[in-house]
């Protein structure tokens, strides 16, 4: 049997029953693909189910405001993904709610890059387009023991060439998902389960007992660390000041508490939080202070704060310190 047919039979027997695999509706697959970028499947499933309950169709989604979608996405991170979904649904609405079918048309939707477009075209429309992500790179690099660094031109050429050759004889929807599933369940980064791998006989890294050497990676950069002081400014009518300032270009559209450079004399220290992004780290110190209702700031009651889309780093500490923030006389 060839590699595509081995993978396809394995996938048919071993695939996980995931909510977005119930059918090939491009809307459902699109949202699942965007949510699964940079998010573990187990983490994204509850978000996905909430989303589909609230917006089961493209028509329903088009009725949502950007704020509604930001709120529903809160906690998933990488918020440009949901802002792009909002932009994309406006375009789909203009096209009578028809999700584009051709690869090049799918790519015109905001937030859909070559990988997602190829995944959607192959899974939903049986197009022979190859979807190459980190999972696929890892599997192919091990199969052929690719000596080039992951991300280099040579590396990408080899992976693309092999995937295109396999795709010629593959069933696109099954093959694309089989590659994804193999990378997620069997050929995992740290502990690949080679004894249950359907393509073990073809694998050079397995044969040479050098699995964990692949893919060859560039030395990773050290993340910059930013120290920030965050203020819960509480008014005498038990409201807190929030801002939508996103001059740091992070989480545009989300609310956050006030960032300060000087700690007010009467401020109370509440605690610390370590928050890791892909490219940087925030070390946050939170303070509480009584503030006069300052008209230049925007004030929100606890119930209003619950309903607002709030950046995750601040939401976590707000939930942790809430009881102390609103305790009388703290
Ligand atoms: S044999 Fe092991 S390393 Fe090779 S593709 Fe299968 S799981 Fe990955």
Q: Which of 250, 258, 247, 253 is nearest to 288 (CA)?
A: 258
Question: pTM higher than 0.85 for the full model?
Answer: no
Both tokens of residue 143?
């199969």
**Contact status, residue 124 vs residue 26, Cβ threshold 8 Å:** yes
pLDDT at 328: 57
The pLDDT, as a whole number, for residue 195 is: 96
Q: What is the DSSP string of 181-248?
A: HHHHHTS-SSS--GGG-TTGGG-HHHHTT-GGG-SB-PPPPPPPEEEEEEEEEE-TTS-EEEB---TT
Q: How far is Cα 211 from Cα 30, in angstroms, rounded to an integer? A: 32
pLDDT of residue 330: 46
Three-state DSSP class for residue 327:
coil
Own/partner pairs, 319-327, CB within 8 angstroms, 24+ separation: 320/271, 320/273, 321/232, 321/270, 321/271, 321/286, 321/288, 324/270, 324/288, 325/232, 325/234, 325/240, 325/270, 325/288, 326/234, 326/238, 326/302
**Which of 142, 221, 157, 154 lies closest to 188 in space, CA to CA?**
142
Write out the DSSP string of 132-149: --HHHHHHHHHHTT--SB
Residues marked as catalytic: 33
In CATH terms, are 3-213 and 225-325 the same topology?
no
Q: What angle do CA 122, 134, 9 make, to 5 degrees?
A: 50
Convert the pLDDT of each residue in 237-284 to its tens digit: 999 999 998 788 788 889 999 999 999 999 999 999 999 988 899 999
Regions of the chain where pLDDT drops below 50 = 330
CA 109/CA 88 separation, integer angstroms: 5
Could you tell which of 187, 190, 208 is best to mutate to test the pocket of ligand 1, judged by most ligand atoms within 8 Å of the CB? 187
Q: Is the CB of 28 under 6 A from ligand 1?
A: no
Q: Is the CB of 192 under 6 A from ligand 1?
A: yes
What pLDDT sits at residue 118?
98
> For residue 286, how many C-alpha atoms fall within 13 Å in the half-sphere facing its CB?
23
Distance (Å) from CA 223 to ligand 1 centroid: 31
Query: Hey, what CATH topology would domain 3-213 get?
Result: Endonuclease III; domain 1 (1.10.340)
Centroid of ligand 1 to alpha carbon of 143 (angstroms): 7
- Partners of 231 in the beta sheet? 258, 287
What is the topology classification, in CATH, of domain 225-325? Nucleoside Triphosphate Pyrophosphohydrolase (3.90.79)
Residue 307, preceding peptide bond in cis (omega within 30° of 0): no
Q: Residue 104 and residue 255: Cα distance in Å, rounded?
A: 36
- What does the H/E/C string look like for 16-64? CCCHHHCCCCHHHHHHHHHHHCCCCHHHHHHHHHHHHHHCCCHHHHHCC
Q: What is the pLDDT of residue 167?
A: 97
Residue 12 alpha carbon to ligand 1 centre in Å: 18
User: Where in the chain are the domains?
Assistant: 3-213, 225-325
Asked if residues 69 and 85 have their Cβ atoms less than 8 Å apart, the reply is yes
């Amino acid at each position: 049997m060839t590699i595509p047919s081995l993978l396809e039979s394995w996938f048919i027997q071993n695939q996980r029953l995931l909510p977005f695999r119930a059918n090939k509706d491009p809307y459902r697959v699109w949202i699942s693909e965007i949510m699964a970028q940079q998010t573990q499947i187990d983490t994204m499933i509850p978000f996905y189910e909430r989303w589909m309950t609230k917006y089961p169709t493209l028509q329903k989604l088009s009725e949502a405001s950007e704020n509604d979608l930001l709120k529903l996405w809160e906690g998933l991170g990488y918020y440009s993904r949901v802002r792009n979904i909002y932009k994309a649904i406006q375009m789909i609405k203009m096209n009578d709610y028809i999700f584009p079918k051709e690869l090049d048309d799918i790519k015109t939707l905001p937030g859909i890059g070559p990988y997602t477009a190829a995944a959607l075209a192959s899974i939903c429309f049986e197009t022979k387009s190859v979807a190459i992500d980190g999972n696929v790179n890892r599997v192919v690099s091990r199969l052929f023991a690719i000596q080039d660094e992951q991300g280099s031109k040579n590396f990408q050429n080899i992976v693309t060439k092999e995937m295109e050759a396999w795709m010629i004889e593959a069933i696109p929807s099954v093959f694309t998902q089989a590659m994804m599933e193999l990378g997620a369940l069997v050929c995992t980064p740290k502990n690949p389960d080679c004894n249950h791998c359907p393509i073990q006989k073809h694998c050079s890294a397995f044969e040479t007992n050098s699995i964990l050497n692949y893919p060859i990676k560039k030395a990773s950069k050290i993340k910059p660390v930013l120290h920030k002081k965050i203020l819960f400014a509480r008014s005498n009518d038990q409201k807190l000041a929030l801002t939508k300032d996103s001059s740091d270009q992070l989480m545009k559209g989300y609310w956050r508490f006030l960032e300060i450079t000087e700690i007010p004399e009467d401020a109370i220290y509440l605690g610390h939080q370590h928050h890791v992004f892909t490219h940087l780290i925030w070390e946050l110190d939170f303070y509480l202070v009584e503030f006069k209702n300052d008209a230049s700031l925007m004030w929100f009651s606890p119930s209003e704060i619950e309903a607002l889309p709030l950046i995750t780093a601040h939401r976590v500490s707000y939930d942790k310190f809430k009881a102390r923030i609103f305790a009388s006389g703290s």
